[in-house]
Structure 1
Amino acid sequence: MNMPLNTSADICDPTEQARYNMVEQQIRPWNVLDEAVLELLFTVRREEFVPPAYQGAAFIDTQIPLNPSVEEAERLGQVMLAPRVDARMLQDLQVQSTDRVLEIGAGSGYMAALLAARAERVVSLEIVPELAEFARENLRSAGVDNAEVRQSDGALDPIPDGPFDVIVLSGSVAEIPQRLLGLLRDGGRLGAFVGHMPMMRATFVRRQGDRYETTQPWDVVVPRLRHFPEPTRFKF
């Protein structure tokens, strides 16, 4: 049985009040209505995955740089996505307790922790060695033992663990990578942010036998994942 969420009147601690405000003022209004997902945002403590310099921004509706240079972080996709984006992606993927999950772009490890709380096992790939270690340490500190972070290029390196029930790209791509679709189990789901500035769409692909059903239910703009193909865009 789901436990009821705290009400604002129940909360005295400033950190918990900020967490409550994040959920009720940013995330729930963004059509994240799955109570199990909302409850998870109280138990997986986002501030434990935020770099020390940005602790004050842990619950703000913004991306958080994971590189000392903010411009480099944006250009290289080295950011924590806004809380509402992670939460809605998690909700729409409908992760089950028996699912094996692949994430491309571990970042701080926060999304891997959310996924691991719902899945059987998570493999998260991170191209930057320093971020891979940062994510591993954050997951260890949070007591997450069913998520593994590997230093690997999700666009180019072999991925030997498939098939997966869920694949999530924690950054944007120009188009759905076909090789990742081949790693989906029958009934599996892939979630990605697809498109070009200034318009991208959250895109979900479900495998049904030899068919792939695609939906694009919401708009979002997030930084690029590195090394995925960028098809030429013709201009007339």
Structure 2
Amino acid sequence: MSYLLVHEDREYLRAPGDELQTDLGVLAVPEDVEPGDVLETHLGEPFVVRRLRGPDLFNHFERTGAPMLPRDVGLVVGHTGIAAGDRVLDAGTGTGVLSAYLGRMHSDVVTYEIDPEFAEVARENMRLAGVADRVDVRTGDLTENLAEAVEDAPFDAITLDTGDAPAIVRRAPDLLADGGHVAVYSPFVENSRATVEAAREVGLVDVDTFETIQREMDFGSRGSRPSTAGVGHTGYLTFARSER
């Protein structure tokens, strides 16, 4: 399990035994470190140790692309009901934010990442999140490893962030446990439509697609209004379920 090392407005994610090197000095994180401890660099600068929380994964993981936003992770969990003890098949690992969130919920995750370098970064991120024992990051294209995934089935949920999601959804009946869910994220509505069509073709039920939008509020002396900065739109989430 990793911890945040905090000095004023600076935060660094480190695991016990790691070393932190900054312009404020160098410190080694003790193996027996606990939240609330204060560690000092060799220059005497203090860092407070803080327990890692879910949003910290999004803020501090090494990135190999645009990770899934916490709001989208929340929608995936809320619509699928993924919980402790569930088995999840994931594809399009990327940075690994979703997999790490699910692992921290004590789900067992098998996730496929096609890029070997991205997969290696994701494995390190799982180590930092303390979930390397629950998240199996596999290098490869899930569509080319479906026979392997079917052997590992059944899964309680399938979560996909890949352009070939419709092809995987067509195999969902062979992969899902009774009543299991599929959740597919896509930045493009065309891929979402293809996913919906694939889900209906193979008899999945409760097929729904949502655009994910979130607006930050500004509260100022002149009044209150949604912020004009930032991007409120993320993408599209499609959900479906096995009727067995």
Q: Same fold (TM over 0.5)?
A: yes
Q: What is residue 108 of structure 1 aligned with on the other side?
A: 95
1:128 is aligned with what amino acid? D
Q: CA deviation at 1:212?
A: 2.4
1:146 to 119, 131, 134: 134
1:92 is aligned with what amino acid? H
Q: CA deviation at 1:13?
A: 5.5
1:186 to 178, 197, 214: 178
TM-score (norm 1): 0.56
SS of corresponding position for 1:45:
helix
Q: CA deviation at 1:198?
A: 6.7
Q: What is residue 159 of structure 2 aligned with on the other side?
A: 168
Structure 1 CA distance, aligned partners of 2:165 and 2:210? 16
Write 1 or 2 for the structure with the bigger share of helix.
1
Cα gap change, 1:222/1:13 in structure 2, threshold over 3 Å: closer, same or farther? same
- Indicate the percent of aligned positions where both proteins have the same amino acid: 30
TM-score (norm 2): 0.55
Q: CA deviation at 1:90?
A: 2.5
1:97 aligns with 2:84: yes
- Residue segments in structure 2 that go unaligned for 5+ positions in a row: 1-6, 12-51, 213-233, 237-244
Q: CA deviation at 1:81?
A: 2.7
- Residue segments in structure 1 that go unaligned for 5+ positions in a row: 1-11, 17-38, 52-65, 67-77, 224-236
Q: What is residue 215 of structure 1 aligned with on the other side?
A: 207
Q: CA deviation at 1:89?
A: 1.8
Q: Please say which structure displays the higher CA radius of gyration.
A: 2
Write 1 or 2 for the structure with the bigger share of strand.
2
Q: Cα deviation per residue 1:139-175 (whole Å; 9 max; x = unaligned)?
A: 1122112111000101222323111001100245573
* 1:36-47 → structure 2 map (5 Å cutoff): 41-42=54-55, 45-47=57-59
Structure 2 CA distance, aligned partners of 1:120 and 1:174? 22
Structure 1 CA distance, aligned partners of 2:187 and 2:235? 10
Kindly report the root-mean-square deviation, in angstroms, between the aligned alpha carbons of the 2 structures. 3.5
